[in-house]
Amino acid sequence: MNATVVPATADAIERAAAALARGSLVAFPTETVYGLGADAANPDAVRAIFSAKGRPADHPLIVHLPDASHLDAWARGVPDGARALAQTFWPGPLTLILPRTPLAGDAVTGGQDTVGLRVPAHPVAQALLAAFAARGGHGVAAPSANRYGHVSPTTAAHVADDLGGRVAMILDGGACAVGIESTIVAFDGDLPLLLRPGGVSVDAIARVLGQAPEAGTAGAPRASGSHASHYAPRTAAFLVDARALPTELLRLRERDEAVAVLARGVARPDDFEGRWIAAPPDAEGYARDLYANLRALDAAQADAILIEAPPGDAAWTAVRD
Ligand code: TXA
Ligand code: MG
């Protein structure tokens, strides 16, 4: 394991907060995926995130806060619906896109007039954000801690694979419990818009708001995570219907193609040669393991990855995305 990976002890968290305050980059666990953090109010520190990730600098970042009391430092004109969502789901896997205050500069917002805010629930993230706030910090900007275009990291080792050597410190807090990114909700006036499905279900949001968020459309704020290629592994991956999977395996075998499979219900054929992962059958377990499974299949260096298509019902929306 990389030398920058350190167990997230109280002492390590203090050192990480000090590193953030100096303008350095620190990777840390959240309940969704690992984040690549920098002082959100320091434009130079924020710019270092983009060069470490190799990400275009006009992509806005999420600012992570220790608790909802910091919301009004970053956002103004907060709709009642947004406050209700914050109260219900923070700390947790929900990001709110809101009109920014001057504290949210162009570096962190990609020049948009809105800012993304979230209070993560992971105890290490909470402790780090509290320690950073105790040093006078206002919030930590953090995209997922992967190189641009790679699968998001759900362990410290994934972060080290992608960014080792490019960050001051990687706090190891174990595997992420949710495993997929936060749900992103924006507001057009009072109208809620879903920009990215994620750890909080659309149903749960609809129950709080009394209406389901509409799909965010062009003209609405951008969410780069909704590009199809954003989460793509390097090996070509194909979604295959459970019923079609056996035939597809035979077809590729006849063409002598090496195949890696992410199955869910379909059993591994006795004569299958290659990497076969049987994913958890439930949506939560499937999401938790998804990115680690995709990394493992990618590492198998097959000619193709076949993914058994997940179910079509609402519980699986964020996974399918
Ligand atoms: O679960 C998560 O959200 C993780 C953890 C680390 O918190 N973070 C994460 O960050 O997924 P990132 O940068 O990989 O994805 C954030 C998404 C991007 O697609 C970005 O475009 C969108 O949030 N976003 C951020 N601020 C925005 C804004 N002001 N308007 C529209 N979209 C915004
Ligand atoms: Mg990302």
For the stretch 217-252, pLDDT in tens is 644 455 655 554 545 567 889 999 999 999 999 999
144, 176, 288: residue to mutate for ligand 1 pocket, most atoms within 8 A of CB: 144
- As beta bridge partners, residue 77 has none
The residue among 206, 163, 129, 193 whose CA lies nearest residue 49 is 163
Neighbouring C-beta atoms of residue 240, cutoff 10 Å: 20
Per-residue confidence (pLDDT) for residue 218, from 0 to 100: 44
Residues with CB under 6 A from ligand 1: 30, 32-33, 35, 59-62, 93, 95, 97, 109, 112, 114-116, 118, 120, 142-144, 181-182, 184, 195, 221-225
Q: How far apart, in whole angstroms, are the C-alpha atoms of residue 299 and residue 250? A: 22
The residue among 290, 312, 318 whose CA lies nearest residue 233 is 290
The residue among 279, 281, 32, 319 whose CA lies nearest residue 175 is 32
Looking at ligand 1, which atom is closest to the CA of residue 95?
A: 3
Nearest ligand atom owner, CA of 96: 1
DSSP state of 75: B
Per-residue confidence (pLDDT) for residue 49, from 0 to 100: 97
The residue to which tokens 């992410």 are assigned: 262
Nearest ligand atom owner, CA of 40: 1
Total-model pTM: 0.90
pLDDT of residue 101 exceeding 50, the answer is: yes
Give the chain's mean pLDDT: 93
Distances (CA, A) of 8 to 28, 34, 91, 151: 9, 13, 19, 23
Per-residue confidence (pLDDT) for residue 309, from 0 to 100: 95
The two structure tokens encoding residue 318: 């964020």
The two structure tokens encoding residue 264: 């869910």
Q: How far apart, in whole angstroms, are the C-alpha atoms of residue 66 and residue 1? A: 29
Is residue 216 very low, low, confident or very high in pLDDT (cuts 50, 70, 90)?
Answer: confident
Residue 116's H or E segment, with its range, is strand 114-118
Q: What is the CA radius of gyration of the chain?
A: 20
Going by alpha carbons, the residue nearest to atom 10 of ligand 1 is 143
Going by alpha carbons, the residue nearest to atom 3 of ligand 1 is 182
pLDDT of residue 300 exceeding 60, the answer is: yes
The two structure tokens encoding residue 146: 């992967």
Q: What's the mean pLDDT in 183-187?
A: 97
Q: What is the DSSP string of 185-221?
A: EEEETTEEEEEE--SS-HHHHHHHHSSPPEEP-BTBP
**Which residues, other chains included, contact 175 with Cβ-Cβ below 8 Å and sequence gap of 6+?**
154, 155, 288, 292
Q: What's the mean pLDDT in 68-95?
A: 98
Per-residue confidence (pLDDT) for residue 1, from 0 to 100: 47
Per-residue confidence (pLDDT) for residue 228, from 0 to 100: 45
Q: How many angstroms does the Cα of residue 181 sit away from the middle of ligand 2?
A: 8
Per-residue confidence (pLDDT) for residue 224, from 0 to 100: 55
The two structure tokens encoding residue 3: 């030398």
